Amino acid sequence: MRSGFLDRRPERIAIRAARLFDGHGPGYLLDPLVLVEGGRVVEAGSGLEPPPGVEVVDLLGLTLLPGLVDSHVHLALNATDEAVDHVTHADEAALLVSMRAAAARTLAAGVTTVRDLGDRDYLSLRLREETAADPTAGPTILASGPPLTTPGGHCWFLGGETSGVDGVRAAVRERAERGADVVKVMATGGGITAGSAMHERQYGRAELRAAAEEAHRLGLPITAHAHSPEGIADVVAAGFDGIEHCTFYAEDGVRADEGLVRELAERGIAVSLTLGALPGGPPLTPEQAKQLPAFVAGLHMMREAGVTLVCGSDSGIFAVKPHGGLAHSVAAMVDMAGLTPLDALRSATSVAARACGVGERKGRVAAGFDADLIGVEGDPLADPAALLDVRAVFRAGRPVALDEQDARGRGQAGGGTDKP
Ligand SMILES: [Zn+2]
């Protein structure tokens, strides 16, 4: 993009491209013009003429889409295989430096909104203020602060240890007082914490119910990290709004439960699948390979039952989960969960925005929505891999300078593993 334009920051611009996917569908709008004023979309349509005197940005040959919405990231984890060590031991200043870099990288990859589901010391809330003040510094951030977890439980090192009905209620209140956008609870164990197992429940139903009641009383949505069928059932019974991962990993292997899947669909619980990783990571362990068919069958069972499936990345937890790596998760929604490319794109735009509580202003290109827009090379409705080739990013109507090196590096392999 021309640097002069980046410097001038006109209040009103008209963006032209080859075609537009508006975040909902059913297909492309050809020869679109999107009129932006004061950071919002004023009008978007085919064959419109730019009003006189308005600066026109021609994204010749590109496909225009809403900026992507990642429902599950960890800005405080630095996307190396030592991410847990880093977040546990880095001082606050060093952590903020790496978080700002993660936010910038995320935005450059075309992800204009993230929901951070686990930081340390509420630092993602501080970053939220920074990227709100300067939209070109990073995505819009919705943040949970440290997730609630049991003493010594999954991700205890983020500082959210609490137990008992009263403890859990107080922890939810603290998050509301600090201005969190969402409450996150570790309902089962997880892969990245030593001594924690995915199939183990962490809280009893009374504690989970208390957490959900307190969050809803304070006007906050609540989502749970849950892997095992028992943990998922507990969270559903407690009245949570969302479930992260939802792998159905039991002690003896993956066991997707049809009755439970039906309930997820009927209750409209948003399931954020954190599939996908950079290609070229280490191969699956023999146990993971053995469980893969049952895991994939569970994904298909949820899709066929009409469960709201949302695309998230879990960016930051490993080297193969880079910040801004959501395009790989969109591809996995197609390759593993069996979504059509159209539904996969919706799951990372309009559907994700609704699941994150910002469906009225994010995830669509339409009048009144925030002017968070990306231009990509190729045909993402035919092949979501086109999302890896982001050529233009606008946040709140402001063009974001893209680093060519950074863009090229995103499609390449790193080290590490892809464990949920
Ligand atoms: Zn996570």
Which one is predicted more confidently, 280 or 383? 383
Please state, rounded to an integer, the average pLDDT across all residues of the chain: 93
Question: Is the Cβ–Cβ distance between 330 and 368 less than 8 Å?
Answer: no
Taking residues 36-57, what's their average pLDDT?
A: 95
Q: What is residue 199's predicted lDDT score, i.e. its pLDDT? A: 86
CA dihedral sign of residues 222, 352, 329, 397:
negative
Distance from Cα 254 to the centre of ligand 1, integer Å: 19
Can you tell me the distance from the alpha carbon of 142 to that of 286, in angstroms, rounded to the nearest whole number? 37
Distance from Cα 151 to the centre of ligand 1, integer Å: 18
Tens-digit pLDDT profile for residues 272-283: 999 999 998 888
Tens-digit pLDDT profile for residues 296-306: 999 999 999 99
Can you tell me the distance from the alpha carbon of 254 to that of 300, in angstroms, rounded to the nearest whole number? 13
292 alpha carbon, distance to own chain's centre: 23
Instruction: Read off the DSSP letter of residue 50.
Output: P
Distance from Cα 34 to the centre of ligand 1, integer Å: 35
Does the structure show a pLDDT above 70 at 407? no
Which one is predicted more confidently, 405 or 133? 133
Q: What is residue 190's predicted lDDT score, i.e. its pLDDT? A: 87
Cα–Cα nearest to 396, from 116, 83, 139: 139
Distance from Cα 147 to the centre of ligand 1, integer Å: 10
Distance from Cα 81 to the centre of ligand 1, integer Å: 14
Can you tell me the distance from the alpha carbon of 307 to that of 67, in angstroms, rounded to the nearest whole number? 24
Burial 285-308 (b: 16+ CB within 10 A, else e): eeeeeebeeebbebbebbbeeebb
Distance from Cα 41 to the centre of ligand 1, integer Å: 32
Can you tell me the distance from the alpha carbon of 274 to that of 287, in angstroms, rounded to the nearest whole number? 19
Q: Which residue has the tokens 């790596």?
A: 325
Distance from Cα 77 to the centre of ligand 1, integer Å: 10
pLDDT class of 415 with cuts at 50, 70, 90: very low
Q: Which residue has the tokens 């969050």?
A: 215
Distance from Cα 53 to the centre of ligand 1, integer Å: 47
The one-letter amino acid code at 388 reads L
Can you tell me the distance from the alpha carbon of 174 to that of 101, in angstroms, rounded to the nearest whole number? 28
pLDDT class of 154 with cuts at 50, 70, 90: very high
Q: What is residue 95's predicted lDDT score, i.e. its pLDDT? A: 96
Tens-digit pLDDT profile for residues 244-296: 999 999 999 999 999 999 999 999 999 999 999 999 888 899 998 999 999 99
Q: What is residue 202's predicted lDDT score, i.e. its pLDDT? A: 95
Distance from Cα 397 to the centre of ligand 1, integer Å: 30
Distance from Cα 37 to the centre of ligand 1, integer Å: 35
Q: Which residue has the tokens 């023999």?
A: 286
pLDDT class of 404 with cuts at 50, 70, 90: low
Can you tell me the distance from the alpha carbon of 262 to that of 268, in angstroms, rounded to the nearest whole number? 10
Q: What is residue 109's predicted lDDT score, i.e. its pLDDT? A: 98
Which strand (E) or helix (H) includes residue 201? none
Taking residues 345-353, what's their average pLDDT?
A: 98
Distance from Cα 72 to the centre of ligand 1, integer Å: 6
Q: Exposed, middle or buried by CB within 10 Å (0-12, 13-18, 19+), for 118?
A: buried
Does the structure show a pLDDT above 50 at 3? no
Distance from Cα 390 to the centre of ligand 1, integer Å: 25
Distance from Cα 191 to the centre of ligand 1, integer Å: 10
Does the structure show a pLDDT above 80 at 49? yes
Q: Which residue has the tokens 């937890």?
A: 317
The one-letter amino acid code at 61 reads G
Q: What is residue 299's predicted lDDT score, i.e. its pLDDT? A: 98
Distance from Cα 245 to the centre of ligand 1, integer Å: 8
Does the structure show a pLDDT above 50 at 420? no
Question: Is the Cβ–Cβ distance between 107 and 395 less than 8 Å?
Answer: yes
Does the structure show a pLDDT above 90 at 75? yes
Does the structure show a pLDDT above 50 at 167? yes
Cα–Cα nearest to 9, from 417, 400, 287: 400
Ordered structural domains, the chain, with CATH: 3-66+363-409 (2.30.40.10), 68-355 (3.20.20.140)
Q: Which residue has the tokens 């603290």?
A: 174
Can you tell me the distance from the alpha carbon of 314 to that of 304, in angstroms, rounded to the nearest whole number? 24
pLDDT class of 191 with cuts at 50, 70, 90: confident
Does the structure show a pLDDT above 70 at 4? no
DSSP string, 75-134: TTS-SSTTHHHHHHH--HHHHHHHHHHHHHHHHHTTEEEEEE---STTHHHHHHHHHHH-
Can you tell me the distance from the alpha carbon of 303 to that of 216, in angstroms, rounded to the nearest whole number? 27
Can you tell me the distance from the alpha carbon of 145 to that of 67, in angstroms, rounded to the nearest whole number? 24
Distance from Cα 284 to the centre of ligand 1, integer Å: 19
Cα–Cα nearest to 307, from 229, 225, 243, 226: 243
Distance from Cα 129 to the centre of ligand 1, integer Å: 22
Q: Which residue has the tokens 């003429």?
A: 49
Q: What is residue 29's predicted lDDT score, i.e. its pLDDT? A: 97
Tens-digit pLDDT profile for residues 323-343: 999 999 999 999 999 999 999
Distance from Cα 210 to the centre of ligand 1, integer Å: 22
Does the structure show a pLDDT above 60 at 207? yes
Taking residues 161-165, what's their average pLDDT?
A: 97
Distance from Cα 117 to the centre of ligand 1, integer Å: 6
Counting Cα atoms < 13 Å in the Cβ hemisphere of 142 gives 26
Distance from Cα 272 to the centre of ligand 1, integer Å: 10
Cα–Cα nearest to 102, from 385, 314, 415: 314
pLDDT > 90 in the chain, percent: 87
DSSP string, 259-273: HHHHHHHHTT-EEEE
